[in-house]
Structure 1
Amino acid sequence: MAVTRVELAGRAYEVRVGPDLLSRLAEECGALLRKQAVPIVTDENVHRLWGETVERALADAGKTPRWMVHPAGEGAKSWDGLSRTVEWLLSEGVERGDHIVALGGGVIGDLTGFAASMLKRGCGLVQVPTTLLAQVDSSVGGKTAINVAAGKNLVGAFHQPALVLADTEVLGTLPEREMRCGYAEVIKYGILGDADFFAWCEEHGAAVLAQDHGALEKAITTSVEAKARIVAEDERETSGARALLNFGHTFGHALEAATGFSDRLLHGEAVAAGMVLAARYSARRGSCSLNDAERVTAAIDAVGLPSEIAAMALDCSGDELTAHMLHDKKMDAGTLPFVLLRGIGEAFLARDVALSDVAAFLSEQLQAH
């Protein structure tokens, strides 16, 4: 098991990565589960696959899980899903000193984390991410949110977990498409801040997706360590350092909005295509080489992630895609900063980007063949 500490001002927590953590849930959580009843929020798919494992793990420690099971999918990350979760937690008698377990992918982690941040002005939280994307990204760092009509993740709070348990065994039940989505966030860490890790991904991406144990643990641990360093430096995204983690996301969220936040384009797929767009736009502006942009594209292509928005048959224009960006939560004083590249491993925040130029660039990309 690999352990990474996320160091924050006056407090810290561990991210543990390894096999069979779910079957040792009570042991790993220890005193965080201070009552017999353990409130767990999950979705139908995860409950079907891993509910019995959790039941046994807790029963062996004399504890009883109390389940809140949401329908699977992005729809749970809504006002309705939040309201039902909070009301259920209250009905279960959850106290401020208790810890709620979020067992699932990014949707469940975001939803449960937001509910925990609100309940009695802040309850404890244990993140148990069950997708690669959640293990390397959304479960670490304390960002929680729901989606609203205006856009994705626009209502939320910073609420750090007390512990993150990333069990590599649970990834064995993930569909290949979900594994690829998670891998998009893995390779992101190389592109934005670690050229050597990007080169490692170019060579070992297939092994990660095939769930070779050594490659998978290295990919997750390296990603978590990278995110932990950035979160420790800029927990609430005020200095600009944490904003670098949004590489590919401004373009990606616009693509998600254009496809109705549906299964037509999953979040990791949108981020993958968004990273290609960000790299190409960086090359267009002259801040990075065309060769680096081509390496990013090739690395995305090599693992079966989408790289060409022209192939998505989007019913929109470049202007319409940039209009979606106006709802981005990173808007500041009417301007939208973009995370761009000076080269692989060197991302920066550009605050001088004209959306009209982005729209023209996207129009070109929509028509490219």
Structure 2
Amino acid sequence: MEFELQAQDSASSARAGKMTTAHGEIETPIFMPVGTVGSVKAVTHEQLIKEVKAEIILGNTYHLYLRPGTEVLKAAGGLHKFAGWPRPILTDSGGYQVFSLAANRKIKEEGVVFQSHIDGSRHLFTPENVVDTQRAIGADIIMAFDECPPYPSEYTYAKNSMELTHRWLARCVKHMSDTEPLYGYDQALFPIVQGSTYRDLRKISAEFIASMGADGNAIGGLSVGEPEEMMYELCALTCEYLPQDKPRYLMGVGTPWNILENISLGVDMFDCVMPTRNGRNGMLFTSKGVVNIRNKKWATDFSVIDDGIDCYTSNYYSKGYLRHLFIAGEILAMQIASIHNLAFYLHLVKQAREHIIAGDFTSWKNEMIPLLKTRL
């Protein structure tokens, strides 16, 4: 994987760049729709490409390991062929899911023993077999196995967890070097900065991750319940110590205004379930603000969902019709809302990129954020 830094905002740390992978180029800053089990909920691949304009999607190792399993993925030739997705894929290592979804987990030096949320069966994730699973998935970018501590965490727990994550990372790096890709193209391993909400731990972790010389680096353990201002403070601190010439990925973030603020701090890549999850529940993010489409006020509003973005779905269906579909319990409602929200997120990061290149990102961001937060 290659990363080219193309522009830098003079009034902030915002950057525009280009990543090159075996399955195509990615212009940054970028938002990655979450396709946990190899599919983005309620959205077809054609819609992702033509309407959402997704350049990369995210899959999850924990879920894909459990279903369909590595043997099926190997037989198919990897997730790209199995799912029919032609563009880049990033996989989360499954660490977050093991610690948040799996029952009766037990953390030890070797790895984590956990129970499947599907059938209760017991499994062991280690740094080595998580790399092997992501080899089988065939993602262009894979994540190192880490522990994501809860918020809040005691200092001692956060420190021990960070040190365990660092030891696991060293094992991931070694196993990557000892194994070969399965499908004839290289995969990039991203380490993950941890340290909970403690500034000294974040600095230690970021410096350790930077010393690994990876193709890119991720920032984990944020957007897990801490206040927004704390997230921004810790993200800014972390970015100070991560290499300028490598992409930075802030995991699991967030609202449209979270994304713009973190772009200004130097982050290049984002993912979050919010646009699809909130969309399925009737919350729309638009160029004029946030819409609760179930509200009766939209019943006779026949204007299109959002004429401020380039998306067929957003420019075709009316707010009144979409509200009707939600009230009637129609599956189409969730599909329309999901496509729109994802298209809006991709539109927003594309706009951010254009303003970074133009040199006026900070003033544009400061105008946009109050608008994005407006409740319509």
User: Greater relative contact order: 1 or 2 (C-alpha under 8 angstroms, separation 6 or more)?
Assistant: 2
- TM-score under structure 2 length normalisation: 0.39
Question: Which structure features the higher share of helix residues?
Answer: 1
